[in-house]
Amino acid sequence: MDFNLTDEQAAIRDMARGFAASHIAPKALEWDENRHFPLDVLREAAALGMASIYTGEEFGGSGLSRLDAALVFEELAAGCPCVSAYLSIHNMCAWMIDAFGSREQRAKFLPMLVGMERAASYCLTEPDSGSDAAALSTRAERNGDHYVLNGRKQFISGAGNEADFYVAMVRTGGPGPKGISCLVIEGGTAGVSFGKNERKMGWNAQPTRAVVFEEARVPVANRLGAEGEGFRIAMAGLDGGRVNIGACSLGGARAALDKALAYTRERKAFGKRLVEFQALRFRLADMATELEAARGFLWRAACALDAKSPDATRLCAMAKRVATDRGFDIANDALQMLGGYGYLSDYGVEKIVRDLRVHQILEGTNEIMRLIVARGLIGG
């Protein structure tokens, strides 16, 4: 594997970095405080190809690689991890339709996702099935050329906004993973409603709601793949989602490290700048090393996913665990280095810590990542 970026990849990275610096970072604290979902800015990102990074070009996608996507999400997350993470979910949904949809479905749905005319959400988790996703109970009963849905999805990012669109896993058959199918549900469907916008520790710049189905009728033509293939589709989407969220953790951690470096260069104590104290120099060195190590691992997982390697699922789980754990630790260390100022919202580090904490939970908890890795080692 060549760790040197091509000229094209460097240009993609620089484009995302510039967009984050000019359009995201200046407003990130304001969006967090006001719980504002910046769809207008997300659509500006979409105009640059960032809403369909690894979706094929036939219906307007950028047709780039998972490694390219990791570069983009890291740079956007340096501006705001929450905004970057939502965009990663939208990209995952668009890719699932591109990868598993018919040509008719792709022609119908992808153009509205590429430009973010519709903002997509991924509906897998339920109130009683988080890590045990195969136990989901939202039911879809076939009735002629429609399914009738009843059930509830929980912790759905982006739900209930004015341009909603859902890729949902529902039960069309018996218990277990083979009874699950995947449906595309368009905003405004009768029988679809939403819970309150949850108050959260972080990720305040995107809404998180329950999505409730009560006799909601969804065309059979909106099913991705055959009945019973939904769990496989969901897991395939999560492989890439784990790389994406890991990249978002790296971007947030890098921003926190940069803030810590700037602070320790300026702040004085006991007659010296903080950066002159060996203990703090060593901590900064460790933070930078951990960030670089996690990035290298994440890039390896992204390349395995691009190559359709049989080890891709295991590597994505490993990389997600490492990147999100190390990313949170680096941000938390940065907050400590700023002392009392790190705890204040004005400096932006506490927001990064709050945003990155949930990355250790979503797209599969890091305990589930260990389970996936262990299965690869010992079977079962």
Q: Which residues are catalytic?
A: 363
Task: Give the percent of the chain with pLDDT over 70.
Answer: 99
**Placement of tokens 């490694």 in the chain:** 67
Cα separation, 68 vs 196, whole angstroms: 35
Q: Do both 213 and 263 map to the same domain?
A: no
Q: Which among 157, 158, 168, 154 is positioned nearest to 126, based on CA atoms?
A: 154
pLDDT(311) > 80: yes
In a domain, 1, yes or no: no
Mean pLDDT across the stretch 227-247? Answer: 96
User: pLDDT-derived band of residue 162, with 50, 70 and 90 as boundaries?
Assistant: low
Q: The domain spanning residue 56 has which CATH number? A: 1.10.540.10
Q: Do both 273 and 348 map to the same domain?
A: yes
Cα separation, 161 vs 7, whole angstroms: 38
Domain boundary among 100, 118, 136: 118
Mean pLDDT across the stretch 303-309? Answer: 96
Q: What is the dihedral of CA 62, 188, 85, 231, to 10 degrees?
A: -80
Q: Which among 127, 97, 233 is positioned nearest to 178, based on CA atoms?
A: 233
The per-residue pLDDT for range 260-280, each reduced to its tens digit, is 999 999 999 999 999 999 999
State how beta strands 272-273 and 119-123 pair: unpaired
Q: Do both 168 and 282 map to the same domain?
A: no
Q: Do both 253 and 360 map to the same domain?
A: yes
Q: The domain spanning residue 250 has which CATH number? A: 1.20.140.10
Strand partners, 123: 168
Residue span of the structural domain in which 224 resides: 120-228
**For residue 131, what pLDDT is reported?**
85
User: Which residues neighbour 274 within 8 Å (Cβ) at sequence distance 6 or greater?
Assistant: 263, 264, 265, 267, 268, 280, 337
pLDDT(163) > 70: no
Cα separation, 342 vs 224, whole angstroms: 46
Mean pLDDT across the stretch 173-187? Answer: 95
The per-residue pLDDT for range 205-225, each reduced to its tens digit, is 999 999 999 999 999 999 999
In a domain, 2, yes or no: no
Say if residues 191 and 240 touch (Cβ distance below 8 Å).
no
Q: Which among 88, 93, 152 is positioned nearest to 121, based on CA atoms?
A: 93
In a domain, 296, yes or no: yes
Q: Do both 158 and 190 map to the same domain?
A: yes
Q: How many domains does the chain have?
A: 3
User: pLDDT-derived band of residue 4, with 50, 70 and 90 as boundaries?
Assistant: confident
